[in-house]
Amino acid sequence: MNTQQTAQLKSSANGFARRRSERESGMRLENKHQSGKLNQNRSMNAIGTSKAPVYESPSRDRLVYLSTCLIGHPVEVRLKNGSIYSGTCHTTNVEQEFAIILKMARMTKDASYRGSKQEYVMKAPSKTLIIPGKEVAEVIAKDVPVTVAGQSNELQNERHEDILIDSSISHSRHVELDRELSPWVPDEDDPQCPGLENIFDGPWNRGWDQFETNKMLFGVKSTFDEELYTTRLEKGPRMRELEREATRIAREIEGEDTEDLHLAEERGINLGEDFDGDEEVRFSSVIRGRGLDDSGYDEDEDILLDKRNTETFGDVPASSGAKTDHLHRGTSNDSAGALLTSSVDEPQCSQSSNGSEFFQSNTYDHCRQQADDLPCKSSTSDCNGRSLYGNPEILRVAQGHDSINASIETKTVAVDGKLSKSNESQSAENSQTAGFDRGGLLADAPSVTSSVKEMPPTEPEVVYVKADGESSGVSACRQPGTFASGSDHAGATSASSHPAVSPSSSLIGSSSSENSTLNPHAKEFKFNPNAKSFTPSHSSPVRPPSPVSDGSYYFTPNVTTLPQMHGMPVGIGMGPSYSGHQHVLFNPQVAPLRSPQPYFHPSGPQYGQQMNLGHPRQVLYMPGYQPVSSSQHL
Amino acid sequence: MEGSISNSSSNEDFAVGCMLSIKTTLGDEFDGQVITFDRPSNILVLQEGSKPGPRRNIRFLKTNYIKEFSFLGQSEDPLDIKKCYIDLQSLQDREELALRQAEADAERIGVGVTTEAQGIFDALSKTLPVRWDKTSIVVMNEVRVSSPYLPENVIGGTPAANDRVKKVLELERRRLQTRP
């Protein structure tokens, strides 16, 4: 066996090939009339002169044709000595003997080898293997495409790495497929409901138990227990009703009209004969909602939230300095606003008015009005003897803590006196208002608000407010009418007018006379020194993060005096977990108040808390307020 | 039959379509239908299998190696001349593709290794990246398995990899034993 694999031989193989092609072309020219078609598409247009003799026979043509078909195809060459080589056919020469050149050939059977199969040693494949025709006994090739159909299919397949997609099979232009392909049509059944389902109708009716069968056939005992996988239905007396109800509901749901294509199809709602859409649309594709965009926060949501905020807090003209946005004053929130304002202004007022007149009805009204239009500038003037229009005051307070300090001090002083006086009376009236911080409230807008929150049930506070520390003030304060817009009022006023403590009697009287909504039977607030500070457990979903949240904080000016007062919330000011800035007066003596009083944390959720009460409060923000902590006013 | 085939072209034609049962000197036996017979080269081209279609199993047999044959019947020409076209370009492409494939396959075959070793290599390659290095199997570029490819011959690599290869090797050997 002389198989050689040298470059030289390779070139000679090429020579073979060249000669062969020449011959082929020669043959083509001459055999055109005979079997022209056989040679027609040969792209090889070698130079026409053929020197070798031409065999004019169709059989020869066929041979050549078929051997050409082998090119690139895996073949098996059996030699006359019995050895077998496998490889890719590169070219053949059938002119005389069937010579063949294989690429990447391997000897799959070695005739000379006598050993057992186990020990057959593999040899490396030869890149090119030339087998002389004399040696060749037989060439076997499987799945050779001999016609056009076979060829293109094969290439397609190989190109796509043997992935045959359905459309290429079904729409094949190659008629010569194994069988005639025709599109599937359903049986006489309704095309919407293929009859496949009939087979498994009512398995419980079929009378075939798979477990029994299995046991019988294979002796396998089943441990299947349906209850493991489903909830047991209690078949009690009410079963019928429940079933009926359930089926009713089910029918209702199933009978519902739906926009969804697929649901409609499931329910058997006919779409109409001329439905525009092919099978894919009808049965398979996912329907994307029109205009649905759940990519996240929408403009609309934004607006919606803003709107809600506005409703809640009232419009805030931008002009009013720092974070006036957050100076909310809903129309219904007057009390709160007033309260706040008053509370904030307290110090101022006290300062200015020296406790002579804290509240005046007209001022209150005025405050209210002014609260409504934010840009409250003339706060100082207002403050003087007025019930503080809190906003501007607050703002100013925010910006200048010094003033607050001063005011606080003054106020503290002022309050002290009053407080002592009103202690008893107030204690009686003290409503529970957990967290109602008399002292704190005064200067502390948020606390006021919080107290306001608590207030509703406790009206005695209001009475307080009207306390006649300053008779005039008291009387002024005593505006249940105005206050009565809500218990808040009472609360607010009471808070704000804290310094203006009046004998309970007067308060009570005023409250009752004015049909206040205060609850005279409310429990007295008892301060719990061990209480933890309040931290909101969740944030309001409605509330967008508001920049003003920073501004909320407590103002607890008069901490020291409070201990004397029974049940006075003391030193509420500090929430434990403020996000840093804006810590106002901190009273180290007093443990932070317990949760009932919602602390205003400088974070959005606080407002949510408030909102939850259903009383829109006016919250005063003191955005730029610098912590006064340096001065522990006690 | 060879002798009876005359030189005239017309006579040659009749052989086409004959169903023959042939025994070759090499020990092959098969049935086939004559596609063509080329007298000058004594090559008989037969089509095996009866299934119609574009792809056929074809044998080129030199008549000198026919030990005996018998005539089974006469059928029509299995080759439809009208549909016989060749696209050389596609042939060449096909060849290239096949070569690439074959080269890839060749990588997987060890040179000078026993069939048993090759079997082990093939089994390992199903789940692990392996390659040949002379007569050693290199797994994951770390672990070497040298002849005789027993679990003891697993060397190298991290302990984890080593153990894994050992385990796979044991399993494969066991499987190869039960299935000859």
Q: Can you tell me whether residue B132 is helix, strand or coil?
A: strand
Tokens, residue A296 = 């996240």
Q: State the pLDDT confidence band at B18, using cuts at 50, 70 and 90.
A: confident
Q: Give yes or no for residue A630 having a pLDDT over 90.
A: no
Tell me which chain A residues have a C-beta less than 8 angstroms from the C-beta of B103.
104
Using a CB-CB cut-off of 8 Å, the residues of chain B touching A74 are 98
Check residue A247 and give its pLDDT: 92
DSSP per residue, A281-295: IIIIPPPPPTT---S
Enumerate the residues of chain A whose CB falls inside 8 A of the CB of residue B65: 80, 137-138
Identify whether the C-beta of residue A310 lies closer than 8 Å to the C-beta of residue A293: no
Report the pLDDT value the prediction gives residue A294, as an integer from 0 to 100.
54
pLDDT of residue B60: 86
In what helix (H) or strand (E) does residue B43 lie, and over which residues does it extend?
strand B43-48
Nearest CA in chain A to B84: A147
Residues 6+ apart with CB under 8 A from A464: A422, A425, A426, A429, A438, A494, A497, A498, A501, A502, A504, A507
Q: Report chain B residues whose CB lies below 8 A from the CB of A60.
A: 38, 40
DSSP state of B133: E
Looking at B12-120, which runs of residues are DSSP E strands? 18-24, 29-38, 43-48, 55-62, 66-74
Substitution target in A38, A122, A126, A131 with the highest count of B β-carbons within 10 Å is: A122
Report the amino acid identity of residue A75.
Answer: V
| Block residue for tokens 């044709």 | A65
Backbone angles phi, psi at B46, to 5 degrees: -120, 155
Interatomic CA distance for residues B34 and A139, integer angstroms: 15
Does the pLDDT of residue A262 top 60, yes or no? yes
Contact indicator for A95, A69 with CB cutoff of 8 Å: no
pLDDT-based confidence at A138, cuts 50/70/90? Answer: confident
Highest mean pLDDT among A77-81, A492-496, A502-506, A512-516: A77-81
Q: Write down the pLDDT at residue A56.
A: 57
Say yes or no to pLDDT of B47 above 70.
yes
| Average pLDDT taken over every residue of chain A | 57
| Most A-contacting residue of B48, B58, B69, B89 (CB-CB within 10 A), to test interface | B58
DSSP B17: T
Q: Which residues contact A166 (CB under 8 A, 6 or more apart)?
A: none
How many alpha carbons lie under 13 Å from residue A147 in its C-beta half-sphere?
16
Label residue A248 by pLDDT band (50, 70, 90).
Answer: very high
Asked if A158 and B12 come within 8 Å (Cβ–Cβ), the reply is no
Examine residue A592 and say whether the peptide bond preceding it is cis (omega within 30 degrees of 0): no
Higher pLDDT, A292 or B159: B159
CA distances from A50 to A19, A55, B30 (A): 9, 12, 38
Answer yes or no: are the C-beta atoms of A275 and A264 closer than 8 Å: no
| Whether pLDDT at A230 is above 70 | yes
Task: Inform me whether the pLDDT recorded for A141 exceeds 50.
Answer: yes
In the three-class reduction of DSSP (H, G, I as helix; E, B as strand; rest coil), residue A129 is classed as strand
Least confident interval from A304-318, A480-494, A544-558, A588-602: A480-494
- Point out which residues pair with A75 in neighbouring strands: A87, A141
Tokens for A487, please give them.
């218990």
Of A476 and B80, more confident? B80
Q: In chain B, whose CA is at the least distance from the CA of A148?
A: B85
Top pLDDT among A327 and A517 is at A517
Question: Which two structure tokens, joined as six digits, stand for A536?
Answer: 């909101």
Q: How far does chain B reach from its first CA to its final CA, in angstroms?
A: 43
CA distance linking residue A475 with residue A498, whole number of Å: 14
Arithmetic mean of pLDDT, A592-605: 45
Token code pair at residue A83: 């050895």
Residue B53 C-alpha from the chain's centroid: 21
A61-75, A253-267, A373-387, A528-542: range with lowest mean pLDDT: A373-387
More confident residue, B7 or A127: A127
Scanning A31-170, the segments in alpha helix (DSSP H) are 32-40, 58-69, 148-159, 166-170
Cα torsion through A241, A247, A252, A257, rounded to 10? 180
Contact A157, A164 (CB under 8 A): yes
Better pLDDT: A512 or A209 = A209
As a whole-number percent, the residues of chain A with pLDDT over 70 amount to: 26
Tell me which chain A residues have a C-beta less than 8 angstroms from the C-beta of B39. Answer: 57, 59
Host H or E run for residue A18 = helix A7-30
Residue A249 has pLDDT above 90, yes or no: yes
For the residues A108-134, what does the mean pLDDT come to?
68
Q: pTM, whole model, 2 decimals? A: 0.36
Tell me the pLDDT tens digit for each residue of A355-366: 344 444 444 444
Number of neighbouring beta carbons within 10 Å of residue A136: 23
- pLDDT tens figures, A105-119: 877 777 665 554 445
> How far apart (Å, rounded) are the C-alpha atoms in residues A10 and A353?
118
pLDDT in tens, A567-590: 444 444 444 444 444 444 444 444
Say which residues have a Cβ less than 8 Å from residue A288's Cβ, sequence separation at least 6: none
Tens of pLDDT, residue by residue over A281-314, are 778 888 776 555 555 555 666 666 666 677 666 6
- CB B81 within 8 Å of CB A37: yes
- Inter-chain contact B81–A35, Cβ cutoff 8 Å? yes
Choose between B103 and A55: higher pLDDT.
Answer: B103
* Residue A305 φ then ψ, to 5°: -65, -40
Q: Which whole number is the average pLDDT over A407-436? A: 45
As a whole number of angstroms, the distance between CA A467 and CA A478 comes to 8
Least-confidence region, from A66-80, A292-306, B58-72, B125-139: A292-306
Per-residue model confidence (pLDDT) at position B16: 78
A203 CB burial (10 A radius; 0-12, 13-18, 19+): exposed
- Chain B residue with CA closest to A100: the answer is B60
**Contact flag A71-B94 (C-beta cutoff 8 Å):** yes
Among candidates A37, A42, A121 on the partner chain, residue whose Cβ is nearest the Cβ of B113: A121
The least confident of A216-220, A491-495, B43-47, B95-99 is: A491-495
Instruction: Name the helix (H) or strand (E) containing A86.
Output: strand A84-93
Distance CA B171, CA B179 (A): 12
Average pLDDT over residues A51-67: 68
Asked whether A470 and A605 are in contact (CB, 8 A), the reply is: no
Say if residue B65's pLDDT is above 80: yes
Please judge whether A104 and B106 are an interchain contact, meaning their C-beta atoms are less than 8 angstroms apart: yes
Tell me the backbone φ, ψ of residue A359, rounded to 5 degrees. -125, 145
Q: Which residue of A has its CA nearest to B96?
A: A72
* pLDDT value for A292: 55
Long-range contact set of residues A264-267: C-beta below 8 Å, sequence gap at least 24: A265/A192
Which pair of tokens denotes residue A263? 């649901």
Reference A393, options A330, A324, A451, A452; nearest CA is A324
Average pLDDT over residues A457-484: 41
User: For the stretch A95-128, what's the b/e string if a residue is b when 16 or more beta carbons lie within 10 angstroms of its beta carbon?
Assistant: bebbbbbbbbbbbeebeeeeeeeeebbbeebbbb
pLDDT at A4 over 80: no
Chain B CB contacts of A67 below 8 Å: 60
**Spatial distance between the Cα atoms of A31 and A58, rounded to a whole number of angstroms:** 9
Contacts of B155 (CB under 8 A, 6+ apart): B143, B144, B145, B146, B162
Query: What pLDDT is attached to residue A293?
Result: 52
**Contact call for B88 and A58, based on CB within 8 A:** no
Q: What is the mean pLDDT of residues B133-147?
A: 84
The string of pLDDT tens digits covering residues A369-417 is: 444 444 444 444 444 444 444 444 444 444 444 444 444 444 444 444 4
Q: Indicate the length of chain B as a whole number.
A: 180
Lowest mean pLDDT among A336-345, A544-553, B85-94: A336-345
Q: What's the CA gap between B90 and A71, in Å, rounded?
A: 10
* B83 closest CB neighbour out of A120, A148, A154: A148
Least reliable range by pLDDT among A234-248, A262-276, A437-451: A437-451
pLDDT at residue A368 greater than cutoff 50 = no
Length of chain A: 634
Residue A465 has pLDDT above 50, yes or no: no
User: Closest partner residue to A94 among B43, B59, B64, by Cβ?
Assistant: B43
What confidence tens digit (pLDDT) does each residue in A182-191 have? 777 766 655 5
Q: Determine the average pLDDT of the residues in A506-521.
A: 54
Compute the distance between CA of residue A336 and CA of residue A453 in angstroms, rounded to an integer.
9
Q: Residue B128: name the closest of B172, B168, B86, B74 by CA.
A: B168
Kindly determine whether residue B97 and residue A158, on different chains, have CB atoms separated by under 8 Å. yes
B45 contacts in chain A (CB < 8 Å):
62-63, 66
Instruction: Write down the mean pLDDT value for chain B.
Output: 79
Tell me which DSSP letter residue B139 carries.
E
- Nearest Cα of chain A lies from the Cα of B158 at a distance, in angstroms, of 31
Residue of chain B minimizing CA distance to A126 = B106
> What's the CA gap between A610 and A447, in Å, rounded?
11
User: Could you tell me the pLDDT band of residue A148, with boundaries at 50, 70 and 90?
Assistant: low
Q: How far apart are CA A375 and CA A355, in angstroms?
A: 26
Which pLDDT band holds residue B143 (cuts at 50, 70, 90)? confident
Considering chain A, what percentage of its residues have pLDDT values greater than 90? 1
pLDDT for the residue B149 = 83
ipTM of the complex: 0.76
Q: DSSP class of residue A537?
A: S
How high is the pLDDT of residue A204?
58
